[in-house]
Amino acid sequence: MISDICVLCPYGLDAGLLTKAVALANGAPVRAFVPKVEADTAATFGATYVHALTNVPRDENSLVTWLKEKISQYGCRIVLAPASIQLRNLMPMLAWELQSGLTADCTDLTEKDGSILQTRPAFGNSLVATIKTLSAVQMATVRPGTFPALPCPCDNAQVTEEIIAAPDGRITVIATETGMEAAPLNHARVIIAGGAGIGSREGFEKLEAIAKKLGGAVAASRNAVDAGFAPYRYQVGMTGVTVAPKLYIAVGISGAVQHLAGMSGSEKIIAINTDPKAPIFDYADYGIVADWETVSNKLLEELS
């Protein structure tokens, strides 16, 4: 059994990761740091101690200092966090402060003799490495969407409101922009993803229209993001997020191993590509060899 597990989700709860932490703890308490608005949700997914954050500082140095003090205060031996864009930057800083080992972008966590074995792909996803951290505090980030979120209510959860008395430091917010996706990728049950074959930003707007009608989210391959057709937050794959929706529609995606690593857990995969030999068809449940725009127009017509 693993005890003293801490799950850090200061920017938004990863319910799947919390579910996994509760399973690893096997009855031992689990501590979660989440935004105040998600405190009740954290208890629903099994957190014993919920730290409800009311004012997360924009400056990562201030947040790292505060988290280090809390982790040391409560004697947390295992610290887990989702490998989101923000936490991929913050967790190495926290590991340095705690003088702890950190395994990034894990795809699985298992327990052995009171420690965690951390699994992650290596060498372009051709090998899988299993890592055990030898430091007093073991730290790992896990790709969002790796573990299913399964409610396991903690009836006696203790919720503590935390006010972080820390300045925003040198960070100044100039402007904010609302994303266009209808649902976050990590929680979407339906995802329509575009590749370089979409050919333009306007093409992705068509995918966004389809996603909206399906109640899903839009994703993209790395090639599409690198080409400027979609923002990085849409990227699925080894260098993006990992997803496991009920339905994944791959449009104009060839099926490189880097992309497959992020969506192979989907329950049903539909591939649309003009190349009948595209690798994506080897992983798809249904394949359509056709021009993506013709199929998309027909789909929009049917959904309307």
Count CB neighbours of 41 within 10 A. 18
Question: Mean pLDDT, the chain, as a whole number?
Answer: 89
What pLDDT band is residue 250 in, cutting at 50, 70 and 90? very high
Q: The tokens 């989702």 sit on which residue?
A: 82
Distances (CA, A) of 65 to 68, 122, 177: 5, 31, 28
The ranges of the chain annotated as CATH 3.40.50.1220 are 190-303
User: Mean pLDDT, to the nearest integer, of 111-133?
Assistant: 83
pLDDT at 237 exceeding the cut of 90:
no
pLDDT at 182 exceeding the cut of 60:
no
For 5-162, CATH number? Answer: 3.40.50.620
Handedness of CA 195, 199, 200, 204 (dihedral sign): negative
- 8 forms beta bridges with 33
Choice among 61-75, 83-97, 141-155 with the minimum mean pLDDT: 141-155
**pLDDT computed for residue 285 by the predictor:** 95
The conformation of residue 280, written as its DSSP 8-state character, comes to: G
The ranges of the chain annotated as CATH 3.40.50.620 are 5-162
Distance CA 140, CA 82 (A): 8
For 190-303, CATH number? Answer: 3.40.50.1220
Q: Which residues contact 304 (CB under 8 A, 6 or more apart)?
A: 213
Count CB neighbours of 101 within 10 A. 17
- As a three-state string, the secondary structure of 151-180 is CCCCCCCEEEEECCCCCCCCCCCCCCCCCC
Give the type of residue at 164. Answer: I
DSSP string, 202-248: HHHHHHHHHHHHHT-EEEE-HHHHHTTSS-GGGBBSTTSB----SEE
Q: The tokens 């013709």 sit on which residue?
A: 294
